[in-house]
Amino acid sequence: MKKSKIRKNIKRRPGTVSNLYFHEGTQNAIESFQTTNEKREQEKIYIADIYPAFNKLVENLIYVHGFVGLYDSYEDLKNDCITFLYEALHKFDASRGTKAFSYFSIVAKNFLIIKSKQRASKLKKNVSMDDSDSLSQEDVNEIEKYFTIFVNE
């Protein structure tokens, strides 16, 4: 006998906003951010409504998809991704019928994937001289010879 999933419909009072971090108010804030030309007004909208949603979105993506080990610190990765989302704010087009959450979650996830691939390739290029398995003694001697010539010049 299979158990069926029972979904509860949560009834909210009219006019209340759900506790989700990306909601209709965030969508409206992004649209008003795009239409406003005043920098102070844009800054106010971003700090009050958009930044908290971006912050939580990026935080969830980093932990859910395992991007934690990408940077030296978690905060650097999170801040870089939020900055990238801020730069992509003007590219969102609500008239196409997409939701802001869908658009920005894909943009953030792609950013994190690209950064992880760049980091992985960078780590592959770095070879430690202390790692005896990856270098032969001849290679170590050549590298030391090169560096002594380079340093003496």
Where would I find the H helices in 14-136?
24-35, 39-45, 51-64, 74-87, 100-125
Q: How many CA atoms lie within 13 Å of 97's alpha carbon, on the beta-carbon side?
A: 0
Structure token digits, residue 152: 């003496």
Amino acid at site 43: E
What integer is the mean pLDDT of 34-58? 94
Q: pTM for the complete prediction?
A: 0.67
For residue 150, pLDDT beyond 60: no
pLDDT score at 122: 72
Residue 72: DSSP 8-state: S
Place of tokens 């005043």: 38
pLDDT score recorded for residue 106: 94
SS3 percent helix, strand, coil of the chain, rounded to 5, is 65, 0, 35
Mean pLDDT for 27-39 is 93
Q: Quick one: pLDDT at residue 63?
A: 86
Which three-class secondary structure state does DSSP give residue 69? coil
